Structure 1
Amino acid sequence: MKRRTLIVSGLGAAGALVVGMCAAPPRSRLGRPNTLPTLDGQVGLNAWLKIAADGHVLLASPRSEMGQGAHTGLAQLVAEELDVPLARIELTEAGHDTIYGNVAASIGNLPFGPRDEGRLNVRLATWFGAKLGRELGLNVTGGSTSLPDAWEPLRLAAATARAQLLAAAAEQQGVKVEQLSIQAGHIRHGTQDLGHFGSFAASAAGRRVGSVSLKPRSEWRVIGQATPRVDLAGKVNGQARFGMDVREPGQLYAAVQHCPWLGGAMGPAQVDAVRALPGVVRVVAVPPMAGSQPAYAVVARTTWHALRAARALQVAWQPPANGGVDSAAITRELARQAQEAHASQGGFAFAEAGDAKAALATSGKRIQAVYTAPYLAHATLEPQTCTAQVRDGQVTVWAPTQLPSHARAAAARAAGVKPEAVTVHVTYLGGGFGRRLDVDFVAQATRVAAECGGAPVQLVWSREEDTTHDFYRPASAAVMEAGLDANGRPTALAITHAEDALYARWLERIEPERAGALELINRTAFLDSRLLAALRHPQDAPDKAASEGLFTHPYAFAAQRLAHVATRSGVPIGPWRAVGHSQHAFFIESFIDELAHAAQADPVAFRLSLLGGLPRHAAVLRRAAEAAGWGQPLPAGRARGVALHESVGSIVAQVAEVEKGETGPRVRRVVCAIDCGTVINPGQVARQMESAVIFGLTAALYGRIDIRAGRVQQQNFPDYPLLTLADTPVIDTYFIDSEAPPGGVGEAGLPPIAPAVGNAWFALTGERKRELPL
């Protein structure tokens, strides 16, 4: 029986297996020297590193580069432990071995908050999650986990390779290992240069070196430095290959026209008129694949001909029988369900302490509000694209994907072959933000290529198709209620929110064969009596992603109940940058600001009073307030707002300075403080904070997807606008020194910006914004 099959089946049958699994540490992630293919004199030392004949180090990268700087950070970890210049490290594709699975992503999905740290069930769940993630081997780039996941295994792989190279050199030279050192990728004996790594790689391969120690922090020379990005030159001079840059001999191009109604059906098309257009090769009917709507693809000699012909294709699409979903009606229904469940204490309680209902009933003052957030599109600057070739029973895919393992599986299903017959080449991503955690565009490209006689086919969605056929961030509604005593101190907090179960919908698309098993694994993280209740439900509850940011808030309330009502709106939804934190931080941090106002307390001081026992959170909040000049006068017509939020293993506080614009808030300055544990590249962390603020401000000020009668109304950037350079504020980033392991960065800076701006707007105008966009 396969190891992963044994684990999955055992979860439902034998508690003894779980105990046995947890009795031993996760398996090694170093792998074997032959895991990586070797060419032209290359020598593999483990599953992560090869040495070229000229001494260059080839690093197998299983993580996608979509602008977040993951490849640079991974190279820095290797450069530190191997004492080799970054310029001598080249990145290569990692392949499909499960050893490259993202263990940190499995742990990151555990449903615990900052005050749960250290508890027995949390330690057990983390231990078990690491072991399970190692066995499943899901190769995914998401959750800001690329560097946290690589922190230990990649440094250990490099340190082991270092020890092997030194041992090989010592044997060749007849000296003791202690007499040798490595400098700039060369092995030295005192002042004598014995040569670069390539001279010793063959002898080092497979050599046993015993225990290996990582460099102490005091000896770091690369980690912690703002080094240039390793992909910078290629992106400046045009050599970097994104998904739309793929060019293969005999390549054709395809564009799609999807059914315009969500939930609509295929209809007949007038293909003869389109086939007669210049450059058109064929028209292919594409059924729903990996969650996509049905579509027709037009294959042509150029992208221009394909896009033009796809727009001209006349199709009698079939609308949904129920008339189609409506986003405004969905939001009203979400609010109704949240209010109904709140009154009856319904929903699945992710966090409970004390008797919130009784504490609220006896509070001197009760504050209640309803918050809502809309659907959002990903709007990646590179629209969905994939190049596929189906020839002689083999499939080759070139894709900008965050999920290569499932892109491979989707291509195999589309072509009717086994996964072993599929090779996936991951290109640079022109933006991901969670959209490329889906594989619908890979399945479509493969399906079209299978009809094109072995020619490679590049499928490109138009911007309009991309905007109207996304997997959107879910709409959400939350009832927020709290009590204050006569002195303005909080007594209880109760939150009930309604939202579609995101992971369930996503798993149905990407893992149709194993969705139930993977959802079961997700729920084992509770490890308490709630697990039994959760297993009685189908796939819609509980869903950590649908509640993260609410039940993970850091504030101390003696009594609280934080519950989720799982819904099923019929709108295709998927992970969006920062996932649930992106809207729920707006809910909780805006409401905490409401409580501070009701208590007649300073918003920063009020938050600090609720952060007892969480010194890291308090330090981040103080640093942001101090750097922003909190409490000091501002120019007339400006006000400050603050927000604090933890996500993806990092804590971020932001202070926004806001003034009135022509249509609403205009943000002039954002001060950001972050504790992300050990900072690998401070320059890159600062850039990611700036990126997150800009991306988050776009959503906070403008972002919304409206659906009427089943049709998405927004089409392109004129009606789904992005923040412009003229409206981008000054962004200052400050770090909190920490020796903790690295936390995530790419998403952590996004959640606090919307509530910081909304809270500043309230301070400026007295108007409390409870609905996004602002």
Structure 2
Amino acid sequence: MSDQALLSRRRFISASLLAGGGLLFDLNVPLAQAADAPPVILTAFIRILPDNRVIIGAKNAEVGQGAKTMLPMLIAEELDVDWSQVTIEQTHADQAVFGGQTAGGSRTTPREWVPTRRAGAAARAMLVAAAAAQWKVPAETLKTGAGKVTDPASGRSITYAALAQAAAKLPAPDPATLTLKDPAAFRIIGRSIGGVDTPAIVAGKPLYSIDFKLPGMLYAVLETCPAFGGTLKSANLDEVRAQPGVRHVLTLKGDGQAESLYDGVAILSESWWSANKAREALKAEWDDSAVRGFSTDGYDRQAATRRGGKADADIVRTGDVDAAFAGAAKVVKADYSYPFIAHATLEPQNCTALFKDGAIEIWAPSQNPENGRALVAKALNLPPEKIRINLMRIGGGFGRRLMNDYMVQVAAIAAQVPGTPVKLLFTRQDDIRRDFYRPAAWHGFRAAIGKDGALTAFHDHFITFGRDGKPVRSAELSATELPAGLIPNILLEQSLLETNMPTGWLRAPGSNAIAFVTQAFLDEVAEAAGKDLPTLMLELFATPHELPRGNNAPPFVTARAKGVIEKVCAMANWQGRKALPKGQGKGFAFYYSHMGYFAEVVEVALADGMPQVKTVWVAGDVGSQIINPINALHQAQGSVIEGLGQALAGQKITQVAGAVEQANFDTHPLQRIPDTPAIHVEFVKTDYPPTGMGEPALPPVIPALVNALHAATGKRIRTLPIVPEMFTA
């Protein structure tokens, strides 16, 4: 059954989120069930077919992180069906029915661990209640399994399909009254289950948003000012309209916001190829006078000037930092930096829309669909209920598709051609030159070491981008950044430069860069103190602490950090590192992000003047349960590969006259298969609720890599990306 059929049946259900985070469903409309009858809907997520198969809706968009498989696993476990009975379908976007559907920040697992299981448990309880009523026995005496209810006393059993009609007439139980399974009884959670879409992906079937087509659809390309924020002055629209295959040439008036819409010229044609060829004839004149002054060279000059001066503001100041440095036995200083980088998703941005009868339907590869709904509603002056968003399989997100510019752009185009479906598709050049980039930054570090070799003070002058005292998106430095909270004297301060570059969340936002600079600098501090970095970190975590993190996040638990550090050092034979041949080295790093604790060791050698990563060891603590072990392994390995690519592949976005210079994978390359090392992953299970796996394994690999390079070559890498010249100077 299609997604459309599933969701047209919303008239049979209503759903609401309870204050405690559970899901309560009012299911008081019965459905007749003949042999060829439609399924009985028990909840917004569960439909039971006459042959006892179960269709489970996956509410979050699939970005490759495994949520489309993992969330139904939680439901199926508590529903007590065999996985072989389950068919998974993607839901559409509707937070009133399905709750939050954002796919980002590794929040899906911690957010859904209890409520989604309760959705399955509620349906199971209703089925058991129906069987108990039919057999006139107490519900608590009945058992479930493999999609059946069994009465142990009599030996009777009955399928869920036979009970579904009666169960659908019952009120849903209060989630607070439900007893969830003991983990010892799990039969699905904790099993390695392949991705639901993997067979179709391997077979090359059309599955992704870029593959989606509608009858009569036109293809659109969009030209905007190369310099972010420039406005359209004029264009040879009639000449472009005369190009082969072109059906429409439209102008878009933007609101000056990258998140929604810049001024642009849209070309619509019968094929994407002809639309893009017609674009070559476009001659547009842009007013970019207000944004031409921004450039990478200018940022570097400003940062160099600001580094030696007074910071704009404190982020956090504790203790007496000046006195600690004045009384230090040793002071370590170093400057670090990293560039803007693009997301470079393999599937370029795209979106399809149909505007008809005052409403719009959108097929979107969005990680954050409700934000897109709000932006489209504002751009088209539509009520949100007139906007339907169908979630499509995403060919790489990494945070890029948390932004919904492509959704607003295609909506603005489709609204000008009512009744005609339109697919907007970025070229690779569009995708890299119109991204929301990981922001660049500069760090001026100082650390004070006491006579006993202990770290006594830490100072970071953080220079990044912002305006009016507020950093741009994803350029924040947390006041709780380690070693804050672990030593008495901390000064984290920031200075802000202006930019026109749109910035956004890149996988492990903030952490992907902050881990590099802090853990690489602390490796320098450890060396100056006569110890290695694992020893320094274990000393900092020696006293049991639970450090508050704010924003309703769980506290940082030092014992969990110690656990993964000790684990990875054992995995990698850290104590035997000095026996490595000359020119080889191992490096270590620890980082906490997105509620995950990860420690990693990289072994590296220099080959033809460039690092060759031989092996990476990863130890992670994401709580008490690994829901889908094979997916968790893949997420950790993928994070390591992506992090190595950010450091080694040459990823760097530069800007001249307000515009990005890079345009494709030749100038913003990705990590390649031959460069991928052996990656060994083990998990340290602890008695805490499970958390996400999409991001926290990435940040430590970059500092572990540069620390390994120092061990192998004696050279400190303090800026990215890593290039051969760093080893010949």
Q: Say yes or no: does 1:721 pair with 2:669.
A: yes
Partner of 2:302: 333
Partner of 1:116: none
Distance, in Å, in 2 between the alignment partners of 1:568 and 1:44 is: 54
Percent of aligned positions with the same letter in both sequences? Answer: 34
More moved, 479-488 vs 142-151: 479-488
Q: 1:193/1:285 Cα in 2 relative to 1: closer, same or farther (>3 Å)?
A: farther
Equivalent residue in structure 2 for 1:651, among 597, 616, 619: 597
Q: Say yes or no: does 1:58 pair with 2:24.
A: no
Deviation at 1:558, TM superposition (A): 2.5
Equivalent residue in structure 1 for 2:627, among 672, 680, 691: 680
Deviation at 1:603, TM superposition (A): 2.4
Q: Secondary structure at the match of 2:287?
A: coil
Partner of 1:282: 248
Amino acid at match of 2:621: D
Where in structure 2 are the equivalents of 1:211-610 lying within 5 Å?
211-239=177-205, 241-288=207-254, 290-291=257-258, 292-321=261-290, 323-342=292-311, 346-349=312-315, 351-501=316-466, 540=470, 546-548=476-478, 551-553=481-483, 556-610=486-540
Deviation at 1:352, TM superposition (A): 3.8
8 Å contact kept, 2:355–2:411? yes
Deviation at 1:539, TM superposition (A): 7.5
Equivalent residue in structure 1 for 2:124, among 158, 162, 181: 162
Q: 1:661/1:286 Cα in 2 relative to 1: closer, same or farther (>3 Å)?
A: farther
Partner of 1:112: none
Partner of 1:628: 572
Distance, in Å, in 2 between the alignment partners of 1:329 and 1:422 is: 43
Q: 1:266/1:371 Cα in 2 relative to 1: closer, same or farther (>3 Å)?
A: same
Q: Secondary structure at the match of 2:378?
A: helix
Distance, in Å, in 1 between the alignment partners of 2:140 and 2:27 is: 28
8 Å contact kept, 1:33–1:45? no
Structure 1, unaligned stretches of length 5 or more? Answer: 1-24, 103-138, 505-537
More moved, 549-558 vs 457-466: 549-558
Partner of 1:69: 66
Partner of 1:617: 561
Where in structure 2 are the equivalents of 1:746-761 lying within 5 Å?
746-761=694-709
Distance, in Å, in 2 between the alignment partners of 1:479 and 1:227 is: 46
Deviation at 1:566, TM superposition (A): 4.3
Q: Deviations over 1:77-96 (max 9, x none)?
A: 11211111224142341542
Q: Secondary structure at the match of 1:31?
A: strand
More moved, 490-499 vs 65-74: 490-499
> RMSD of the TM alignment (CA)?
2.5
8 Å contact kept, 1:553–1:646? no
More moved, 429-438 vs 253-262: 253-262
Amino acid at match of 2:677: P
Question: Whose helix proportion is higher, 1 or 2?
Answer: 1
Partner of 2:678: 730
Equivalent residue in structure 2 for 1:93, among 78, 91, 94: 91
Q: Say yes or no: does 1:697 pair with 2:695.
A: no
Number of equivalenced pairs: 675
Deviation at 1:716, TM superposition (A): 0.3
Q: Say yes or no: does 1:207 pair with 2:204.
A: no
Q: Secondary structure at the match of 1:704?
A: coil
Distance, in Å, in 1 between the alignment partners of 2:340 and 2:565 is: 30
8 Å contact kept, 1:692–1:746? yes
Distance, in Å, in 2 between the alignment partners of 1:309 and 1:721 is: 28
Deviation at 1:608, TM superposition (A): 1.4
Partner of 1:198: 161
Distance, in Å, in 2 between the alignment partners of 1:723 and 1:542 is: 28
Q: Secondary structure at the match of 1:158?
A: helix
Deviation at 1:246, TM superposition (A): 1.2
Q: 1:255/1:34 Cα in 2 relative to 1: closer, same or farther (>3 Å)?
A: farther
Amino acid at match of 2:339: P
Distance, in Å, in 2 between the alignment partners of 1:91 and 1:303 is: 29
Q: Secondary structure at the match of 1:340?
A: coil
8 Å contact kept, 2:469–2:496? no
8 Å contact kept, 1:83–1:183? yes
Distance, in Å, in 1 between the alignment partners of 2:265 and 2:30 is: 39
Q: Secondary structure at the match of 2:310?
A: helix
Amino acid at match of 1:411: V
Q: 1:182/1:78 Cα in 2 relative to 1: closer, same or farther (>3 Å)?
A: same
Where in structure 2 are the equivalents of 1:60-139 lying within 5 Å?
60-87=57-84, 88-98=86-96, 100-102=98-100, 139=101
Q: Say yes or no: does 1:143 pair with 2:105.
A: yes
8 Å contact kept, 2:443–2:463? yes
Deviation at 1:631, TM superposition (A): 2.5
Amino acid at match of 2:511: H
8 Å contact kept, 2:568–2:618? yes
Q: Secondary structure at the match of 2:149?
A: strand
Amino acid at match of 1:315: A
Q: Secondary structure at the match of 2:88?
A: strand
Q: Secondary structure at the match of 2:216?
A: coil
8 Å contact kept, 1:167–1:177? yes
Question: Whose strand proportion is higher, 1 or 2?
Answer: 2
Q: Deviations over 1:672-731 (max 9, x none)?
A: 110111211121111011111111111112211010111211110011111111111111
8 Å contact kept, 1:48–1:154? no
Partner of 2:15: none
Q: Secondary structure at the match of 1:654?
A: strand
8 Å contact kept, 2:500–2:658? no
Q: Deviations over 1:166-225 (max 9, x none)?
A: 011111122332342222112233485644322222322343546211111221222122
Equivalent residue in structure 2 for 1:29, among 22, 26, 47: 22
Distance, in Å, in 2 between the alignment partners of 1:732 and 1:355 is: 43
Q: 1:623/1:476 Cα in 2 relative to 1: closer, same or farther (>3 Å)?
A: same
Deviation at 1:318, TM superposition (A): 2.6
8 Å contact kept, 1:331–1:475? no
Please give the TM-score of this superposition, normalised by the length of structure 2: 0.88
Deviation at 1:55, TM superposition (A): 3.2
8 Å contact kept, 1:254–1:299? yes
Q: Secondary structure at the match of 2:518?
A: helix
Q: Say yes or no: does 1:182 pair with 2:151.
A: no
Deviation at 1:293, TM superposition (A): 3.5
8 Å contact kept, 2:589–2:701? yes
Q: Deviations over 1:218-257 (max 9, x none)?
A: 2122212212222222322344621111111111111122
Distance, in Å, in 2 between the alignment partners of 1:671 and 1:387 is: 42
Q: 1:183/1:34 Cα in 2 relative to 1: closer, same or farther (>3 Å)?
A: closer
